[in-house]
Structure 1
Amino acid sequence: SGAEEFVKKYETHKEEDQIIGHFGLGFYSTYMAAKQVEIQTLSYKEGAESVYWSCDGSASYTIEKGTREARGTEIILTLLEDEKEYLDEAKMRTILKHYCSFLPYPILLNGKQINEHPPLWMKPASECTEQEYLDFYRRLFPMEPDPLFWVHLNVDYPFHLKGILYFPKTSLEGEFKKEKIKLFCNRVFVSDNCKDLLPDYLTTLRGAIDSPDIPLNVSRSYLQMDRTVRQLGAHISKKISDRLGSLYRSEKEKFLSYWPDLELIIKYGALQDEKFYERVKEFLIWKNDKEEWTTTEEYLERHPEQSVYYTAEKNHFLNLYQEKGIEVLMIRPSMIDQALLSFLEQKTEAKFKRIDGHLEEKILDPEKEKSLLDADGRSEAGKIADFFRKKLDMEVEAKSLASDSLPAFLLIKEEERRLRDQLAYRNQEMASAASSFVKPTLVVNTNSKLIQAIQKAELKDPELAKEMAHSVYDLARLSQKEMEPEALAAFIIRNQKVLEKLSESL
């Protein structure tokens, strides 16, 4: 039959009559590049005669006795004028390597075999060496650095699945690269996009998956709902979590060294998949202020009060907690970490408290509290708070901190900070709007000699006292990374003026 009859046969919209997946479509696609197709073929059957077939893509064709003397088939394409780029050997080699590298039959181009290396996933894992895994990865991804480790998949029931998935070198701050897992069906390349087969958190992996059970002749929406596809994704997820757990328990030091490259998969997976979280929670780890690794559950076992203290970076304020022997986790203000904190608060009894988001009694020294009232009924702490409040026009609290080395710090409520940061991750305009409703409180330390000196300077030089008060506020913002870049110039100028005035009294 001709092309017109072929297409007409599949004009109905019934699912069983869809053109995709029926024998012959691949052959008809040759006319996308060729104006004439000729075939010389000879059957393997004894006594068979050679056949010659020729067609220019129209409804008519020529068929007659052929000239081929040996068993086999030869297909000759006469290319269209606009498609002669396919005569370029380099281009053809690139195409063949992309689609045919692992076909079970030899593919030759000008006498040189294209698929000279069989797919490693066909070989039992027990027979594969580390060098073979690395060489295979380099052939798949020649521009990528070597992977950390890998998982060899081999499933026969309830579906057939083979493949090798590699854990690449990546990071939480790095680019979230997707579409790096090559999908094959019976060793034939299909796609490098497995997002419908794998959960999102595993699409950062690299490698290849081969399964004859993946329904390739259906629509994308049906693929997402297919029971086999869901089973495949769930099975792969379990294999990955099992491999991670095995590495954590048997080679913990190696696991910890890999953590910067693994945490994106583990954290993202915990947020996305309840079952995955249950399997990885034993190694969902954080580093504390003493450079020790711990899980949230281990932290709570050591501190039954259920408060988990954390900070984004080491700064002067952290010293207060360290001097009191309070364990503090180091948690970056990244979008995924902030989402994970809220998630863990729902899954556990933990309440995460950023150390500059709460004024804890543990860091105060009540014995040095300046609470004695004067004749007007005002305490020394109240006077200091009023002084800074008037100079800075903002909310101020004066407290007796356990250390006199920290003059002041900014207190930003946990809920306000999380909301602000969450909006900031979305876009800059929302970040600016969010900053407007965040109202920080400056907590000044009544035990600080600098704070006491500034208060005394008010009697001699009110202008100098005001500039020094602003400098204390700016130093707190700078230390806690709350100072806007455009405010840095004013901060430098103000401090220069303060130093000049102070030098005059020397």
Structure 2
Amino acid sequence: MTAVADTKVTLGFEAEVKQILHLMIHSLYSNKEIFLRELISNGSDAADKLRFTALGDDGLYEGDAELKIRVEFDQGARTLTITDNGIGMTRDEVRDNIGTIARSGTRHFFEALTGDQAKDSQLIGQFGVGFYSSFIVADKVTLETRKAGEPAAHGVRWESAGEGDFTLESIDKPERGTQITLHLREGEDDFLDGWKLRSIIRKFSDHISLPIVMLKESYGEEAGEAEKTIEWETVNSASALWAKNKDDITDEQYTEFYKHVSHDFQEPLARLHSRVEGNNEYTLLLYLPARAPFDLWDRDTKHGVKLYVRKVFIMEGSEKLMPRYLRFVRGVIDSDSLPLNVSREILQEDKLLEKIRSGAVKKVLGLLEDLAKNEPEKYTTFWKEFGQAFKEGPIEDFKNRERIAKLMRFASTHTDSSEQTVSLDDYIARMKEGQDKIYFITAESHVAAKNSPHLELLRKKGLEVLLLSDRVDDWLVGYLTEYEGKPLQSVAKGDLDLGSLADESDKQHVEEASKELEPLIERIKRVLGDKVAEVKVSARLTDSPACLVSDTYGMSRTMERIMKSVGQGGGVPNSKPIFEINPDHPLVVRLKFEPDDVKFGDLAHVLYDQAVLSEGAQLEDPAAFVKRLNALLQGS
């Protein structure tokens, strides 16, 4: 080790850690007992990691393969100590995992804080900063750890008073694993009581599958004197909850297990517990959270479903267990069929695991179908929190595309609400006689979609349109091209095909206007130049003077803007829109008879820019638009 690593150093917390510590120290959690569950869960995770790592190297057990967590207290010193003999940490891992919060969504977390302690405590739990909950009850925390397999001299001590900094130093630590000592604040004497600690452990951590032990004090009378003997006793049931019969598990036990595996502080929205038997046997205990975590959109996050093989932890958060569009699912899958010495590399190709994943996905979709049918309020909550992620399903999971599509919800012109409550089945049930397409529009906001000029003719005919304003929607409709045999058609791409619902008189009017306005169309094309691919008379406008339409098979204008906004516009060609004009609108009529080339050019550009603005997009040259508009208003 280097000289720097051997010395005691004082380092500052990141700004985000300071803010979180401040919130915790001021008791934002409504239940202080939660800190003990979090520290025990961390110890359980460390034991799971050692079990897996030691599959390829028994020497990591260092002669002690009996994994457990010890909870001790010292009333005189006012300390509470939680010790595990799991994988342990190196000095660098301590600095990275304890001294910082390396999670995405930190800024979002602080933006979401309201100042309301009850609401903010839920946000802290949702963010998942379990170790720091120690400072709710402690004014100093000391952590001593050593990585399994490392020499005793490679132990590390971390210590902090939960203020601006922490210290790191190297120590001799004969035992592997991690020991956390909490120096309790005044007034926290409840956590120096054996009966109280046992009740907390049984309440919150009874499901932990390795023993949680405490010192048992027993007394015997001999020769008139009290003889005191000390022995360890297991406080929890120390058995895997998912392996038990469902009838033997209470709702409270299910909930506490969810909080353990998810590090969430709220109750789950729903759960499923299932045993699959046959050639490929496995058990599922999976949960739907009630709220989306802050790292839902972090593609590097590894939280999710844990894989066990005969109760031995193997890995967590792999797409081999659950597809990306179901990344919010939490819980465990325990296989009896996979080999215990399976490696992550073998898992990449394992056919049994593919079958387990497929079965788990079907079970989750079944759970969602049950919620949608029998508990619509819960399903509404699910959709608000996870709908955008779930919409990735048809893109990613072709095999289950129809089931996923049936579960999706959208906003539509059927209601004035921006809430996504309309299913594709709802839409089809309301389709007009003779209607053979599902119409939709994509936009960058619900308001832009709802007020788009592209909807005018469909509104006039009473045709419902799905209003798609989530960023994922443009990708979605590229893969979900039909449902129940009915194609999905954008009302902002190509010619608007109403099939048998189109009036012959309307078609004739467009044809006649197109011939009559040929000179005007050519004149507009010369003025707008390479801004547009084509100028034509519109069949979809009834009130607006003009709109922009994408090519039938081209990328939508909304998609183009999204790609450019995320820095991927370099490979996206600048496609030119089709500029459609309403032949009956007074401004277009004025344009037809405008002799002044300058005024004609100003008016044509203003109509084009208005069409851009009506999409919710930004103008390339707002100043030029304002100048032209002012000139027209002044009549000059």
| 1:371 corresponding residue in structure 2 | 512
Residue in 1 aligned with 2:537? 399
The secondary structure found in structure 1 opposite 2:268 is: coil
1:295 is displaced (CA, Å) by 1.6
Q: 1:80 aligns with which of 152, 155, 160?
A: 152
The question of 1:479 aligning with 2:566 is answered no
1:408 partnered with 2:408: no
SS in 2 for 1:154: strand
- Residue type of the alignment partner of 1:311: I
Matches within 5 A, 1:131-146: 131-143=252-264, 146=267
Asked if 1 retains the 8 angstrom alpha-carbon contact of 2:542 and 2:582, the reply is yes
Partner of 1:494: 628
Worse-matched range after superposition: 300-309 or 85-94: 85-94
Matched, 1:445 2:578: no
Deviates more, 1:407-416 or 1:180-189: 180-189
Partner of 1:354: 490
Residue 219 of structure 1 corresponds to which residue in structure 2? 343
Does the alignment pair 1:299 with 2:428?
yes
Q: Given the alignment, which residue of 129, 154, 179 partners 1:92?
A: 179
Aligned to 1:237: 361
C-alpha contact (below 8 Å) 1:179/1:195 kept by paired residues: no
Provide the TM-score with structure 2 as the length reference. 0.56
2:322 is the alignment partner of 1:322: no
Structure 2: runs of 5+ lacking an equivalent? 1-52, 65-148, 158-170, 182-200, 217-231, 416-420, 443-448
Match of 2:600 among 454, 465, 479: 465
- Please name the residue that 1:42 is paired with: none
C-alpha separation in 1, matches of 2:533 and 2:57: 76
Offset of residue 196 of structure 1 = 2.9
Kindly indicate whether the alpha-carbon contact (under 8 Å) linking 1:368 and 1:400 is maintained by their aligned counterparts in 2: no
1:382 maps onto 2:486 in alignment: no
Output the CA distance in 1 between the equivalents of 2:628 and 2:357: 60
Give runs of aligned pairs for residues 22-33 of structure 1, distance below 5 A.
24-28=58-62
Give CA-to-partner distance per residue, 1:394-450, whole Å, 9 cap, x none.
4553536576521100111131125993896499675245342x1211111111112
Aligned partners of 1:365 and 1:402 also within 8 Å: no
Aligned-partner SS, 2:414: coil
How many Å separate the matches in 1 of 2:482 and 2:519? 42
One-letter amino acid of the counterpart of residue 356, structure 1: A
Structure 1 residues 406-415 or 475-484, which shifts more? 475-484
Q: CA deviation at 1:345?
A: 3.1
Instruction: Name the SS for the 2:621 alignment partner.
Output: helix
Residues 1:411 and 1:83: Cα distance change in structure 2 (over 3 Å): same
Cα gap change, 1:172 to 1:289, in 2 (>3 Å)? farther
Give the residue type in structure 1 aligned to 2:462: G
Superposed, which structure 2 residues align to 1:156-235 within 5 Å? 156-168=277-289, 169-170=291-292, 175-176=297-298, 177-235=301-359
Question: Alpha carbons of 1:218 and 1:422: their partners in 2 closer, same or farther (altered >3 Å)?
Answer: farther
Q: Alpha-carbon deviation of 1:487?
A: 3.1
Q: Give per-residue Cα distances to partners, 1:334-372, cap 9 Å, x unaligned.
A: 34x444434333776433321121333649845755938
2 CA distance for matches of 1:202 and 1:273? 11
Whole-angstrom CA distance in 2 between matches of 1:157 and 1:463: 80
Q: Return the alpha-carbon distance in structure 2 between the equivalents of residues 474 and 196 of structure 1.
A: 48
Distance change (3 Å), C-alpha of 1:324 and 1:255? same
TM-score, length basis structure 1? 0.69
Task: Please name the residue that 1:37 is paired with.
Answer: none
Aligned to 1:58: none
CA distance in 1, matches of 2:495, 2:308: 57
Q: What's the Cα RMSD here?
A: 4.4
The runs of 5 or more residues in structure 1 that have no matched partner are 1-18, 31-76, 373-377
Which of 447, 461, 468 is 1:331 aligned to?
A: 468
Over 3 Å counting, the alpha-carbon distance change for 1:298 and 1:395 in structure 2 is: closer
Q: Supply the distance in 2 between the matched residues of 1:112 and 1:497 (Cα, whole angstroms).
A: 88
**Quick check: which has more Rg, 1 or 2?**
1
**Corresponding residue of 1:35:** none
Q: 1:496 to 1:161 in 2, by over 3 A?
A: same
Q: Is the 8 A contact 1:170 1:260 kept in 2?
A: no
Which is worse superposed, 394-403 or 254-263?
A: 394-403
Structure 2 residue identity aligned to 1:479: S
How far does the alpha carbon of each residue in 1:436-480 deviate from its partner, in whole angstroms, 9 at most, with x for none?
A: 2x1211111111112223444x33x54233212211100101111
Shift of 1:157: 4.0
CA apart distance, 1:230: 2.7
Residue 272 of structure 1, CA deviation = 3.6
In structure 2, C-alpha distance between the alignment counterparts of 1:249 and 1:464, rounded to whole Å:
60
Shift of residue 249, structure 1, vs aligned partner: 2.2
SS in structure 1 at match of 2:554: helix
